[in-house]
Amino acid sequence: MTDMISVEDLVLVYGDGTRAVDGISFKVEENGFFGFLGPNGAGKSTTIKVLTTLLRKTSGRVHLAGLDVEKDAAGIRKLIGVQSQETVVDHDLTGRENLMLQGHLQQMGGTELKQRVEELVKLVDLTDAADKRALNYSGGMKKRLDLASALVHRPRVLFLDEPTTGLDPQSRSAVWKYLDQLNKEGITIFLTTQYMEEADKLCSDLSIIDHGKIVAGGTPTELKGQVGTDTITLSLEGSEQGDGGSARAKELLTKVRGVSEVLDSDGGLTVYAKNAGFIVADIVRSFDENAIKMKSISMSSPSLDDVFLHHTGHRIRPEEASPRQTMRRMGFAARRPARQ
Amino acid sequence: MTFFSDTRYLFVRSIRKLVRTPILLFFSLLQPIIFLLLFTQLFARFTAAPGLFPAGITYLSYATPGILLQNAFSSALQSGTSIVDDLNSGFLQKMLVTPVNRSAILLGRLTSDAFRVTAQSLIILVLAYGLGFSVDTGLPGILAMLGIIAFFGLAWSGISLAIGLRTKSAETVFGIGGFLTFPLLFMSTSLVPTDAMPEWIKAVSSVNPISFAVNAVRDLSLPNYFSAGSILTAVGVIGLIAIVTLGATLYLFRKVVS
């Protein structure tokens, strides 16, 4: 069994009748890097809470490493590391004490735990601040400490709920670096985000979620491929343009497989095609065989934003959480799931 | 058994948090200490009035047990606010996604509360001794007093924890707690004996749980007052309250963690 996470027809209805998650299914393979992309309130956090045993599902089947999320909750808790959306560290404890406590609660101890804590302090670049109270940490440092505390027990699956929301670009790329490294070390990662760039850069597999439903899924490339056309812009050497070179180039281009349209544009040609990445090579080869000299060629692909627009009819507008929204999200027990 | 080790780790966490926020300790000790220094001077000559106070005792030795219980009251109130902090900061959820023993979360809290009340009581006792207070039953009596006070503190922690878990608001815990403290304290035998009270306060005082606790502590400290009966009664009354308040806490906690 290579599926680390398997979710079938998951439904979660809160006590107030909100269908936060409305029949979603997906699988994450072992060592996968899976992303849940969607706007605020799409059901991302709710899904994570069900997967991490914090909320009881209304219906559906959820398994982690073959364990049932409700029958084997205790077993699952040993396998998972979780970083919630709001950064959670104990401000009165030092960075090291935070990590030690987390290790103790994961039933670790002795020199094994001490070594592990040292390792993590180095990993997230907190060596100098490890014995200072977290109260004095910057936002980025707290986030890194929070991430480290999710890793103490070497989880097999890491759940990250919007790990970079509210971070400055520098801290964001630091977090991306750690996550990439962790995934390479074999940890399965489940991440939610409202940032296209993040999903595109990190995830090997994506689901787009909106209003509690998955509207599209696949690799970032596949998803962008579904939207259809990439754009390839090319221009020819000056000598080619006069004596019908342009017409010849156009003729060649229309013969390349996958090209849907070729248009003249200022000083060059614009080609619409699916999967431009593969086609560029064919174009270059074809021009080379026919001795047509190119000055430049470039392509641009549809962004995940276009993908989201294509499937939902609206764009994601990432927003920084306002204090009020944060309060609402934190009140996880304020809205209780309805039992069936 | 992870239950005991988890309880110990969370006990240590609470104590660390406590000593690192000395301002909270300061404020919860401030009131009992002001009472101790001020009331025992202000009312010093009242014990001379015939027939109201037990004969031949100072107001200090009469009121110290009441002040000790007032201290238990005010520190117990902060228990509820700390669980509200953990709820609202997300730390509780962070613990709940680990295999930590669920009951240990509550017990770590309660044991640290009991430890704290005991430590604060010792500080007040030392101050009272400096002013001339003494415990007639000696060290065993002091230990029994501390036991009763800590037990009383736990029962009231139960109330503030239950309010905290129910409302998720530190302000509400403080509001309701503060609202309860003074009427319950003044309408008990903490500071004034029943003979000195008007009839209606006497009626309230006779069923006020603080009266039972304070009478037991007083019977341990005043000379020739020792009575096993009043101690057992106090333990019984506090026990009943504890069953209700801690039962409610446990019920609400289960709802939150399930």
Please state the domain extents for chain A. Answer: 3-224+312-330, 229-300
Residue range(s) defining the domain that contains residue B221:
2-257
What is the 8-class DSSP label of residue A134? Answer: G
Let me know if domain A229-300 sits in CATH 3.40.640.10. Answer: no
pLDDT of residue B78: 83
Instruction: Say yes or no to pLDDT of B128 above 90.
Output: yes
Query: Is-contact B256 B166, C-beta < 8 A?
Result: no
Q: What is the domain count for chain B?
A: 1
Superfamily (CATH) of domain A3-224+312-330 = P-loop containing nucleotide triphosphate hydrolases (3.40.50.300)
Mutation site for A-interface testing, chosen from B24, B85, B98, B107 by largest number of A Cβ within 10 Å = B98
Q: A321 versus A30: which is more confidently predicted?
A: A30
Q: Does residue A106 sit at the B interface (CB-CB below 8 Å)?
A: yes
Task: Kindly list the residues from chain A whose CB atom is less than 8 angstroms away from the CB atom of residue B17.
Answer: 90, 92-93
Nearest residue of B to residue A83, measured between CA atoms: B94
Please answer yes or no on whether B98 and A106 come within 8 Å at the CB atom: yes
Q: What's the whole-number mean pLDDT along residues B86-103? A: 93
Least CA distance to B20: which residue of chain A? A92
- The tokens describing A85, both together, are 């959306």
- In our burial notation (b when 16+ CB lie closer than 10 A, e otherwise), range A126-150 reads beebbeebbeebeebbbbbbbbbbb
**Most confident residue range from A157-161, A267-271, B132-136:** A157-161
Percent of chain B predicted with pLDDT > 90 = 65
* Confidence at residue A332, expressed as pLDDT on a 0 to 100 scale: 40
Share of chain B above pLDDT 70, in %: 100
If you search the block for the tokens 């101890």, which residue do you land on?
A: A109
How many residues are listed for chain A in this entry? Answer: 340
Nearest-CA distance from B135 to chain A in Å?
37
> Is the model more confident about B74 or about A309?
B74
Supply the angle between the helices A139-151 and A169-184 in degrees, to the nearest 10.
Answer: 10
pLDDT digits (tens, 9 = 90+) for B166-218: 999 988 988 888 888 888 899 999 999 988 899 999 999 999 999 999 999 99
| pLDDT higher than 80, residue A325 | no
Alpha-carbon distance of B186 to B196, in angstroms, equals 12
Mean of all residue pLDDT scores within chain A: 85
pLDDT > 90 fraction of chain A, expressed in percent and rounded: 49
Q: What is the ipTM of this complex?
A: 0.89
Closest CB from B16, B96, B256 relative to A92: B16
B169 phi/psi in degrees, rounded to 5: -135, 120
Q: Is residue A225 pLDDT above 80, yes or no? A: no
